[in-house]
Amino acid sequence: MAVVGGYSLVQAQTGDLKPKLATSIEEIAGTYFTNSCVMRGCYARFGKDGSSRQALALDKLDSQPYATCSLEFKGTEMAVTEVSVSGVPSCGKTIGRYQVQLLEGGNIRIVLIDDPCGRGLDFPGEYKPVR
C-alpha cells in the first residue's frame, strides 16, 4: 500500500486523513525512541507478549527499565496497566486508555484517551523505531 505523509494513498485520495489505528500488539511490537517521556527522552520496547518496558538508555531496557507495563488491545483502544516501576511514581493497578496511530516510516503516535495516573503526562507522544 502506498503511503503519503503517514496516510495511505486511498486515504489521501478520499480525503479521509485520519491515521490508521493499531488494533493489536503485533502492529506496534518493536523498540522505539521518544522525546515525550520523563521530560528528556527514553526508549520503549513493546513486546509481542503484551509487555512494555521503558528506560533512559537502550542498553537498560532489559536490565534496568524504570517502568514495565502490560498492554492489551480492545479494538482500537490500548489498555496500559503497570507491572513495576523504579524511580518514578507508581500508578498501581490504575488502567490507562490510549490509541496508537500508525505513522509513516514505522513511527507510532500514542494518544491519551483517559489515564487518571501521571503516566498520562509522559506516555503519549511520537515514537520512532530504533533500527
Span 111-123, mean pLDDT? 86
**CB neighbour list of residue 13: distance below 8 Å, 6 or more residues apart:** none
Of the chain, the percentage scoring pLDDT greater than 70 comes to 85
Q: Environment class of residue 47 by beta-carbon count within 10 Å: exposed (0-12), middle (13-18) or buried (19+)?
A: middle
pLDDT of residue 16: 56
How does pLDDT run across 67-80, given as a tens digit for each residue?
999 999 999 999 99
Whether 9 is covered by a domain: the verdict is no
Whether 6 is covered by a domain: the verdict is no
Query: The domain that contains 123 carries what CATH number?
Result: 2.40.128
pLDDT of residue 88: 82
Read off the DSSP letter of residue 93.
Answer: T
- Which DSSP string do the residues of 4-66 spell out, in sequence order? ETTEEHHHHHHT--PPEEP-SGGGT-EEEEESSGGGT-EEEEE-TTSEEEEESSGGGTTT--S
Candidate ranges 40-44, 85-89, 104-108; pick with highest mean pLDDT = 104-108
Whether 99 is covered by a domain: the verdict is yes
- Write down the residue that cell numbers 491519551 correspond to: 112
How does pLDDT run across 16-35, given as a tens digit for each residue?
567 899 999 999 999 999 98
Domain with 80 in it = 18-129
- Write down the residue that cell numbers 493489536 correspond to: 24
- Residue 9, pLDDT > 50, answer no
pLDDT band at 13 (very low <50, low <70, confident <90, very high): low
pTM, entire model: 0.83
Whether 4 is covered by a domain: the verdict is no
